[in-house]
Structure 1
Amino acid sequence: MDQKEGAEDRGLAADGSIRREGAVDRVQPAFVPVVEATGERLAEAFARARLHSAYLYGSIPRGTAIPGVSDLDLLVVLHDGPTDGDREAAEELGAALDAAFPVIDGVGVLLSTAGDVLSEAERDDSGFFVACLCTPLLGEDLATRLPLHRPTSQLARGTNGDLAAVLPRWRGQAAGATTDDARPRLSRRVARRVVRTAFTLVMPVWGGWTSDLHRSAELFARYQPDHPERVAQVRAAAATARTPSPDPAVLAMLIDDLGPWLASAYTDAHGTKAARPGG
């Protein structure tokens, strides 16, 4: 056990680095068939010469997923840059899994490359994501070639220091989400990112890592007591992440009120994430 008995679990190993949060053996029995099928279908969807490795992330490998509510999150790492064919394969794979397994509500497939994950520019973004938040499913585990990560301001900047740049895209998506089917999916995605940003704003002060959104909101409340209105909004965002809302007012609160405040507070506390080459 890495934490002292009775101490608050901060998600750290004995050396103070952030420990990996998921594992295949934590997958709940209800989700085992979809995980097994995912491994098989990934190998079929992407040519062996293209596919470097694949990972699970999110609630399923953490063992906290809710049948019929939680989605399946995948990262597919290729040997070189994704092609239109790769993107099409990812979309078809996600749609097929979603249709075949009612235990999940949607599938998200991210595409990256081994070179990007291992690059210095991505050390505190994609590198941290794979090393600490992803669970290997197929191929070489790139975490063995990545450095340790600690809950620092540098990590906070690398993970969520670009919220201001994301807000305009969300506004455009919200304007196009005009139905009660479209708004809940967008509200869940936006709420997750907003709560994670709120947590990483205070992460270096707390000195640990969690991906639990409810706990993230409560840690924000602990370290931002002078902003009760924002605390209430972050708690509402955590609830929306679990139970998405079709209410346009919820999206407006997240994107037009809480989001800009968080972006400004984040820049003041940690700075802004450096632009990526070609980004």
Structure 2
Amino acid sequence: MSDKGLNHDGTITREGVLDRVPEAFAPVVAAARDQITETFVSARLHSAYLYGSIPRGTAVAGVSDLDLLLALHNEPTEADRAEAETIEAALDHSFPQINGVGILLFSSRTLLSELERHDLGFFVACLCTPLLGSDLAEQLPRYCPTALLARETNGDLALALPRWRTRAAEAVTDAERKVLSRGVARRLVRTGFTLIMPRWGGWTSDLGQSAELFGRYYPERTQQMRVAAATGRSPSADPAVLTLLIDDLAPWLAAEYTAVHGEKALRP
């Protein structure tokens, strides 16, 4: 793998492996595997994946969350989502080394669809680590850091802005503002990175590196992106931080993204 996260043929290297899971998180992953197996029997579950800092080997005990994706044979139902929430709560309660659990649910049909080929398909093939079942990446292409990939992964930032503004206006506790600031900041850093990804010619999921790479191409926005990266790692309850991210950096980034890469294909 190159220092740009690429294979020798220029395609993006899958970033996580189970062997990189830090020792402190091994019991968490084992329990997640067991609970998913017990809850989503093979007739419902096609495969399960880890993603995020734990399979990348960069997780910090007491700070990092556990991120999972389940590919079901059929479209997820409300019952499926309720059972996933039960697993989330049980794992979060049982393991103090994780700070929250998130489980995404999709059908294998959706993940392999042409519409999602350069968004969710890329996510599974390059950013997810197989945990259970047959790996859907075997049915997906190899990906390069192209403008098409940039457009389809993050070319819809503008759609998030009204929702973020509403949540910011309605947030009344520090806890609510911290949750919002973390999610907004991470989305902005990832969008900022994919904006410049084709020009840089590589891939990274590291927030700090993403912000610094972005700054090479947009030096006038470097400090704002550094604030976003720091907030993505350590959420802030400061309303001024939310204002900077949502009302200043985000609208500019959405407009620049559309100008450079175009808008993401509409979903139903």
TM-score tier, shorter chain, comes to over 0.9
- 1:147 and 2:141 aligned: yes
TM-fit CA distance, 1:190: 1.0
Query: TM (normalized to structure 2)?
Result: 0.98
Trace 1:1-279 onto structure 2 (pairs within 5 A): 2-3=1-2, 9-225=3-219, 228=220, 230-276=221-267, 278=268
| AA at the equivalent of 1:73 | D
| AA at the equivalent of 1:130 | V
TM-fit CA distance, 1:198: 0.4
Deviations 1:217-266 (A, max 9, x none): 000011223xx2x2111000000011101112211211111100000000
> Counterparts of 1:115 and 1:13 in 2: how far apart (Å)?
27
> Counterparts of 1:107 and 1:190 in 2: how far apart (Å)?
18
Secondary structure of the corresponding residue to residue 115 of structure 2: helix
Residue identity over aligned pairs, in percent, reads 65
> Counterparts of 2:132 and 2:48 in 1: how far apart (Å)?
5
> Counterparts of 1:19 and 1:169 in 2: how far apart (Å)?
33
TM-fit CA distance, 1:35: 0.4
Q: Which runs of 5+ in 1 are unaligned?
A: 4-8
> Counterparts of 1:173 and 1:76 in 2: how far apart (Å)?
28
- RMSD of the alignment, in Å? 0.9
TM-fit CA distance, 1:161: 0.3
> Counterparts of 1:190 and 1:266 in 2: how far apart (Å)?
16
TM-fit CA distance, 1:83: 0.5
| AA at the equivalent of 1:259 | A
Q: Which runs of 5+ in 2 are unaligned?
A: none
TM-fit CA distance, 1:153: 0.5
Secondary structure of the corresponding residue to residue 46 of structure 2: strand
| AA at the equivalent of 2:55 | P
> Counterparts of 2:162 and 2:63 in 1: how far apart (Å)?
28
> Counterparts of 2:182 and 2:124 in 1: how far apart (Å)?
22
| AA at the equivalent of 1:231 | T
Secondary structure of the corresponding residue to residue 121 of structure 1: coil
Secondary structure of the corresponding residue to residue 56 of structure 1: strand
Secondary structure of the corresponding residue to residue 75 of structure 1: strand
Q: Which runs of 4+ in 1 moved over 4 A?
A: none
TM-fit CA distance, 1:74: 0.6
> Counterparts of 1:205 and 1:28 in 2: how far apart (Å)?
33
> Counterparts of 2:249 and 2:209 in 1: how far apart (Å)?
18
> Counterparts of 1:151 and 1:273 in 2: how far apart (Å)?
16
| AA at the equivalent of 1:87 | R
Query: TM (normalized to structure 1)?
Result: 0.94
> Counterparts of 1:243 and 1:208 in 2: how far apart (Å)?
26
Secondary structure of the corresponding residue to residue 122 of structure 1: coil
